[in-house]
C-alpha cells in the first residue's frame, strides 16, 4: 500500500526565516497531495494541496512543489511567524481508495521563535 | 463558514464500556471519514461513508462500528472499550467528487 515518509520530524526556525518540509510517497498512481496544519488541541486544517498535473502551487506565504518522477513533494513557508508554530502533516491517497482514505506522514513539529 | 461538528468533545469511559461519537458534516458534503490519532502520532484512517454506504475501511477494530444516516451525519460506536482506545477521534467530510477533506475539532476519548 501507499507509504508516506515525512522529514524532518522537528524544525526550529527564527521568525522571518523560511521553513521547508519534505515528503516522499510510494504509489506512482497517487495524484493528490494535501498538507494539513494541526495546532494543539485542534483538528487538522487543510492549508494547501496540489494535484499531479501541476508542479507548484502558491498561496501567499505557503507553497507546495511536486516532483512526480522522484515521488516527492514539499511544503515551503516563507517569512515565518510565531503563529506558524504547529504540527504539519503531508498526506496522499491510499491506492485503490479513490479519493477516500488519506495516508499521512508522521508529522513535522515546527517551532518559530520570535 | 460552517465546519464539521463533532460531539462530544471530551468523553471519559471505563474499560469494557461503550461509547458513541457523533459527526455532523459540512452542509452539502456527502462523504464522511473517521480517523483515530494517538498521542504524538499521525491520523489513522478507520472508515468512510459515501451517500450512507460504507465506501472504504481501514484499521477499524471489529469492536467498532459506524453508520451514516439520511441527513448525512455519522456515528461511530465503540464497544468493549480498552485502554488502548484512548485517543483523539476525528471526523472529516468532503463534497461529492472532490478530494479535499475538512476535519472537525475531534473527540478526545479517555478510557480508564
pLDDT band at B77 (very low <50, low <70, confident <90, very high): very high
Whether residue B42 and residue A101 make contact (CB cut-off 8 A), yes or no, is no
In chain A, at which residue ranges do the beta strands (DSSP E only) sit?
A: 4-7, 10-14, 19-25, 32-38, 45-51, 56-59, 62-67, 72-77, 86-93, 102-104, 108-113
State which residue of chain B sits closest to A51, comparing Cα positions: B99
Cα gap A2→A28, rounded to integer Å: 9
pLDDT band at B97 (very low <50, low <70, confident <90, very high): confident
pLDDT at A71: 94
C-alpha B44: how far from chain center? 11
pLDDT at B101: 96
Residues in chain B: 112
List the single residue in B41, B56, B106 with the smallest CB-CB distance to A100. Answer: B56
Task: Report pLDDT digits (tens) over B11-23.
Answer: 999 999 999 999 9
pLDDT at B31: 93
Pick among A50, A101, A103, A109 to test the B interface (most B CBs inside 10 A): A101
- Mean of pLDDT values over B66-89: 97
The answer to whether B38 and B56 are in contact (CB under 8 A) is: no
- Mean of pLDDT values over A95-108: 81
- Mean of pLDDT values over A31-38: 96
Cα gap A73→A21, rounded to integer Å: 9
List the single residue in B42, B45, B102 with the smallest CB-CB distance to A89. Answer: B42
List the single residue in B41, B100, B105 with the smallest CB-CB distance to A43. Answer: B105
pLDDT at A66 over 60: yes
Strand partners, A59: A62
Q: Supply B49's cell numbers.
A: 461513508
Pick among A53, A87, A99, A107 to test the B interface (most B CBs inside 10 A): A99
pLDDT at A96: 65
Whether residue B55 and residue A100 make contact (CB cut-off 8 A), yes or no, is yes
pLDDT at A99 over 60: no
Amino acid at each position: 500500500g501507499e507509504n508516506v515518509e515525512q522529514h524532518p520530524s522537528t524544525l526550529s526556525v527564527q521568525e522571518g526565516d523560511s521553513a521547508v518540509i519534505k515528503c516522499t510517497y510510494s504509489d506512482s498512481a497517487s495524484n493528490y497531495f494535501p498538507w494539513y496544519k494541526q495546532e494543539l488541541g485542534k483538528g487538522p486544517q487543510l492549508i494547501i494541496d496540489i494535484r499531479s498535473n501541476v508542479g507548484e502551487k502558491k498561496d501567499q506565504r505557503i507553497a507546495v512543489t511536486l516532483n512526480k518522477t522522484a515521488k516527492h513533494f514539499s511544503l515551503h513557508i516563507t517569512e515565518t511567524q510565531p503563529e506558524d508554530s504547529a504540527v504539519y502533516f503531508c498526506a496522499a491517497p491510499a491506492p485503490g481508495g479513490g479519493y477516500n482514505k488519506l495516508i499521512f506522514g508522521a508529522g513535522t513539529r515546527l517551532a518559530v521563535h520570535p | 463558514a460552517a465546519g464539521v461538528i463533532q460531539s462530544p468533545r471530551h468523553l471519559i469511559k471505563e474499560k469494557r464500556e461503550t461509547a458513541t461519537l457523533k459527526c455532523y458534516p459540512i452542509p452539502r458534503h456527502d462523504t464522511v471519514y473517521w480517523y483515530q490519532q494517538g498521542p504524538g502520532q499521525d491520523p489513522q484512517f478507520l472508515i468512510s461513508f459515501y451517500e450512507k454506504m460504507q465506501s472504504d475501511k481501514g484499521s477499524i477494530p471489529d469492536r467498532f462500528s459506524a453508520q451514516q444516516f439520511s441527513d448525512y451525519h455519522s456515528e461511530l460506536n465503540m464497544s468493549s472499550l480498552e485502554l488502548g482506545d484512548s485517543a483523539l477521534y476525528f471526523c472529516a467530510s468532503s463534497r461529492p467528487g472532490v478530494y479535499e477533506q475538512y476535519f472537525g475539532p475531534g473527540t478526545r476519548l479517555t478510557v480508564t
